[in-house]
Structures are given as C-alpha cells and as structure tokens.
Chains A and B, each alone.
Chain A
Amino acid sequence: MTWQLTPRLPAQPDFLWAEAEPKASYDVIIVGAGGHGLATAYYLAKNHGITNVAVLERGWLAGGNMARNTTIIRSNYLWDESAGIYEHALKLWEGLEADLDCEVAFSQRGVLNLAHSLGDVREGRRRVNANQLNGVDAEWLTPEDVQKIAPILNISTDVRYPVLGATFQPRAGIAKHDWVAWGYARAAHAMGVDLIQGCEVTGVLREGDRVVGVDTVSGPIRAGRVALAAAGHSSVITASLGLRLPLQSFPLQALVSELLEQVLDTVVMSNAVHVYVSQAHKGELVMGAGIDGYVGYGQRGSFPVIEHQMAAAIELFPIFARAHVLRTWGGIVDVSPDASPIVGLTPFEGLYVNCGWGTGGFKATPGIGWVFADTIANDRPHPLAQPFALARFADGALIDEHGAAAVAH
C-alpha cells in the first residue's frame, strides 16, 4: 500500500508574545483579547503611536469567539454602512500577512450564498447589485455556474428547496482564526502592548461621568480610556455602570468533521436552510450551525440545532451523508436588534464600546480594529463607525441586515 503524504501547513513563528504583569495605569485599557481587542491594540500602536496599552483577557488569549468561529470572511453586505466597514476589513485582510509578517492562512476561495426561493433570488440580486455599485466584487450565478464552483452541490430541481442561483464573492474566503489572533498579539506585543491573560474585568472605575479605569480580579487598574471588546460579555461589564446595551447573548454552534480528502474548494452558505460550510486547510469540513433559540452564556449549544442543521446539509451535499461530526462547540454571540454592530462613544467620557457583532464579527477583525483604534485615539467616531452608534436605537435609523439579506455569518 502506498499512501499519500499531506503537506504540512506553514509553521507559526518561533516567538509570539510574553506574558505581562499589569501595571498600575495605562493610557488605554482594552477589555477582551479576542480578535477585535487585539487588532485594536495593534492599530492603536501602529497607526496612532499609542503603546501604553493593556489588553485584559479573563481567560486565555483569543479563547472566546475568536477561537470558535467558522472563519468566513466576506464583505458582500447589503447596506452601504455595512459594505463600508466590511470592505475596509477585506482590503486589510488582503494585505494582512505582509503587514503582520506572519502566516494567517487567508484563502480567497470565494463565498457562495445560495438562493432557494424566488424571494431569495430577488434579495440575492439586490445584494449583488448593491455590492457592485459599492465597489465590492459580487456576481449572480445560475445553478449551473454554482455547480461549476462546487461540483458536489446538489442542483437538481426535484429537491425540497432547490438551488435557484447564488451570489458569489470571489475575494471572500477563510483564514485560520488562531493565527490571526496570534499575529495581532505578536505584533502588538512587539510594539509594547501588555497582553494580560487570566485578568477578568469585574467593573469599571468612574469619577462622575468619566471613566478612569477598571476593576479586575487582580485589583484596580487605572486608565485614561477604556475600550470594551468583550463580545458576548459586553452587557455584563456595562451593567456595572448602569449602562444598558441592546444586546442578547446566545450560544452559536459550529462543528467539524474528520479530515477528508478535498471535496469542496469554496465556502457555501445557505441561509434559508442554515448551512454554512467550508473545507478548512487541514481537510476537515467546518460548519456553522444555527443559533440557540434562547439566551445563555453556556458555551455549548443545544443538540437539536445540530440535528436540524445536518438534515439540510445532506440535502444540499448528498456526499456528506457519511461524513462524521467529530467535535461540536459553542460560542457566546452578542446579537443586536438589527444584527449590526454597535461601535463608538458612550455617555461616559473615556468609555468606548465595540460589540453586537453577533454571528459575523470575525471577518471584520482588521477593519474594526482599525476603526475602533481611530475612534479611541481621536475620541470621536471614525466615519465608518458613525452609522453604528448606540443612538440609532432611539432615533430608529437601524441598519437592518437581517431584514433584507438575512445572512449574518
């Protein structure tokens, strides 16, 4: 018997970062060392020269959603506001390995969003047109075109929800989430940022309406500015200030199969039947499952969600029938009423929020890091962040991505 050798993935750097002890005070404290927190720290240092920065992480670095997501990266969102921030991110993704001098396995293999009803077709075309006019690459594909890109997809018409077409963004793709986080951590650390793990923030210190630091499990730390990048835990932190955020935290699940010989070279998403799948670098199928039906901070999901998901997956990809679920897990996603993020200033001077990315914030990592750092450094919303202000919930100017495109990952 002769077996095939599998090429190794590129090696990660010999040195990433060294653990730091918290100092008594910093110019900026970032709460949460997920992708967003780390990228923010990096751009604060790189773009704004602010390096007296600590990123406080309650667990291990990038162990939250950053370690759990299905890594889909795309920018083909419907509304101008969304296209603005996600396309900014995608452009940064395209130069990220060079910028960080580190491999993140960013692979522009394209993302298909399938349409299964005439309504889906209409919305898909609407989105493609909006994307093109916004300078975001997008195509509308017929079922036959779709099958050329993903030959294992079942495009026969006599299935319950046939494929009537798809939107395709060729520049979209996937990356390795851990490597992205480590790349940012390494670069931020190299510029002097303190990365502090096992340091849960338990409250925010204030003097009047000014925020002056945070309370942590290892004692108070003062800071000129405090920036929250705590994803699903954001509202727990702001609750200590009496600041309410319109967020609900839900478990969102994902799963992987065993390592398989390559069968799928692109990313396929079908919102109507809740299937999001790619075949990752090592060969495993990575799938996002649905969100649990009820709020929770249990980092596990409900089993029926997975059962439901698989039924749909096999309809679309009959060849998956005998693949196996090797591991399932959940992350806590912070869902806002319009499925768009909340970014910007708060009623408290020196306190900045970045949250509400829900099921789709991985792809934004470089973009939001850039924009959030700029917002913090200049104490005013970056133009791309402006539409995502907290105030929109009072005046009604929502950016309703799920009303229309209904695709969030």
Chain B
Amino acid sequence: MLRIPCPWCGPRDETEFCYGGQAHVPYPADPSTVDDADWAGYLFFRDNPKGWFAERWMHRAGCQRWFNVVRHTVTYEISASYPPGTSRPDVA
C-alpha cells in the first residue's frame, strides 16, 4: 500500500486516492487540426516506462483535488508531488 503525499493534505494511504495515468498529456488546443494518428495518440497512447514516471492522482477520500506525482514504477519510490499546471520538478 503506497503512501502518497497529497500536496494539500499530506501523506495518506493509496486507498484514499484514485489514479489518473500519465501526467502532462494536455487536451489538444484545437482537436480539429490534429490528424487521426495524433488524435489516437492523445486518446490511447501513454508512456509506459520502467522507471520514473510522472502520473496523476486525485485525493478522492480527502480534498478531491488532482495533483501529479513522480513515482518509480519498479521500486514504487515517490520522489515528488506537485499541483497540476506546474511542470515536472527536476528530481530523480
């Protein structure tokens, strides 16, 4: 059971959170100009690295706010937690 640092509430058990997949995948500014391949990229293709990964979480049983976490997908270490809209900190 992960212990996830919510930027607003502090560290909490993973069961309080829901997962949102890869972070920093913005909705295209004008989807009508995006071709089919890139649109499929937005819809379905996500990084799946074995290593550090910036991902989204939402503190469902707490503040209900979304935020980003940098986690290692093998060791499950968490090296950063930061609000949405800010860029991935230069850690790990």
Contact = CB atoms under 8 A, between A and B. Distances in A.
A touches B in complex, CB < 8 A: yes
Interface of A: 233, 235-236, 239, 244-249, 293-298, 302-304, 337, 393-395
B49 A239 contact: yes
A295 B18 contact: no
A303 B1 contact: yes
A304 B1 contact: yes
A393 B46 contact: no
Interface in B32-57: 36-37, 39-41, 43-50, 53, 55
A236 B50 CA distance: 7
Contact of A395 (B18, B36, B47): B36
B48 to A, nearest CB: 4
B15 interface: yes
A217 to B, nearest CB: 15
A234 to B, nearest CB: 9
B73 interface: yes
A293 B36 CA distance: 29
A308 to B, nearest CB: 9
Contacts of B55: 294-295
Contacts, number: 62
Contacts of B41: 244
Contacts of A249: 48, 73
Interface centre among A244, A245, A249, A395 (most CB of B within 10 A): A244
A394 B37 contact: yes
Nearest to A296: B73
A294 B19 contact: yes
B92 interface: no
Contact of A302 (B2, B36, B46, B47): B2
Contact of B36 (A233, A294, A394): A394
A247 B40 contact: no
A394 B36 CA distance: 6
B8 interface: no
B29 interface: no
Interface string B49-67: 1100101000000000000
B46 A248 contact: yes
Given A295-B53, A297-B73, A298-B74, A393 B45 contact: yes
B76 A393 contact: no
